[in-house]
Chain A
């Protein structure tokens, strides 16, 4: 989808178009695959938390407090693909 298409969707609050775009982007052009990819990333993140491992919350808060929303959004996309790749079911067949 073109950027203009997406901006128009935002301006019109057309969530369906935006959701479709996200799924297509994350699913390599396949909306159903994109839905599974989103679930896959969350499942992988969840699995890492089940044993309640020690994590660096200072880093998390510092990142949330000190970085711009745009950087955090960018990080969010990276994290999605990071967890998908970590799951071992990497449909993208490419390199981050």
Chain B
């Protein structure tokens, strides 16, 4: 896993206030802080996975439930060898104009494939993982989706995970 920065400052000042104003009650506080694990070997020898809340999925799979008022607690496996043309995005909570032109802007699968081919990354797990970030039930999210993805990541033998909120 990646090295943890001690810098916990907000990247966007006022972000939490904005979220609380728009979605009061949505912020959660966790008292049990679990530090990220340190990477134990070079990235070039590491099996990496990618977990994204972008709502990317293989074409032909059940679209994410983007209209549900509480959220969608399912995830999709995205084969790491996929081409962009085999994927699609289901998301209505943020602009996808850029993603519709090139999914790499939100789900950089081709960049990961290139870095693997160049030897910067040891290898990718057979599947990468995607879900939608609109989740109004954090406890259920943590108990189900997060656990399900964690188990799937472990099952694929991932040694490091790149986490990318959309």
B68 proximity list for chain A (CB < 8 A): 74, 77
Q: In the assembly, what is the distance between CA of A5 and CA of B92, in Å? A: 23
Say which size band chain B's interface belongs to.
20 to 34
A19 proximity list for chain B (CB < 8 A): none
Q: Is the CB of A95 within 8 A of B25?
A: no
Given contacts A94-B66, A95-B88, A95-B90, contact A3 B140 (CB under 8 A): yes
The residue from B24, B69, B89, B90 contacting A5, defined by CB atoms under 8 A apart: B24
The answer to the question of A92 belonging to the interface, with a C-beta cut-off of 8 Å to chain B, is: yes
Given contacts A5-B25, A95-B91, contact A25 B69 (CB under 8 A): yes
A interface residues, Cβ below 8 angstroms from B: 1-6, 21-22, 24-25, 28-30, 74, 77-78, 80-81, 92-96
Known A-B contacts: A1-B136, A5-B25, A5-B26. Give 13 more (CB < 8 A): A2-B25, A3-B140, A5-B24, A22-B69, A24-B23, A28-B92, A30-B22, A78-B67, A93-B92, A93-B94, A94-B96, A96-B67, A96-B92
B interface residues, Cβ below 8 angstroms from A: 22-26, 28, 63, 66-70, 88-97, 100, 136-138, 140
